[in-house]
Amino acid sequence: MVGRFVSRPKPGRIRENADGEVVFRGSEGLWLTLAGVAALVGVLAIWLVISTIASQGVGASVTPILVGLGISAFLLLGAWFARGQRREVVLDGNGVTVRTREGRVTHHLAWEQVTRIESRFLPSHPLQPGIMLHCVDGTSHFIDPLQVYDTSTLVFEAERRKKVADEAARAARLMEHRSVGDADPGEAVNAET
pLDDT at 170 over 70: yes
Residue 15 main-chain phi, psi, to 5 deg: -115, 125
| pTM of model > 0.85 | no
> Quick check: 85 and 101 in contact, CB under 8 A?
no
Number of neighbouring beta carbons within 10 Å of residue 118:
14
Task: Let me know whether 130 and 55 are in one domain.
Answer: no
Tell me whether residue 5 is in a domain: no
If one counts the domains in the chain, the total is 2
DSSP 102: T
Tens digit of pLDDT for each residue in 127-156? Answer: 777 888 999 999 988 887 777 777 778 888
Share of the chain above pLDDT 70, in %: 83
Task: Let me know whether 118 and 164 are in one domain.
Answer: yes
Tell me whether residue 23 is in a domain: no
Q: What is the pLDDT of residue 25?
A: 81
What residue numbers bound the domain in which 100 lies?
87-181
pLDDT at 188 over 60: no
Tell me whether residue 147 is in a domain: yes
Tell me whether residue 93 is in a domain: yes
Tell me whether residue 106 is in a domain: yes
Mean pLDDT of 170-185: 72
* The domain boundary residue, chosen from 47, 64, 84: 84
pLDDT at 168 over 70: yes
Q: Does the CA dihedral 64-66-69-74 come out positive or negative?
A: negative
Tens digit of pLDDT for each residue in 73-93? Answer: 999 999 998 888 788 888 888
Q: What is the pLDDT of residue 182?
A: 54
Mean pLDDT of 57-83: 86
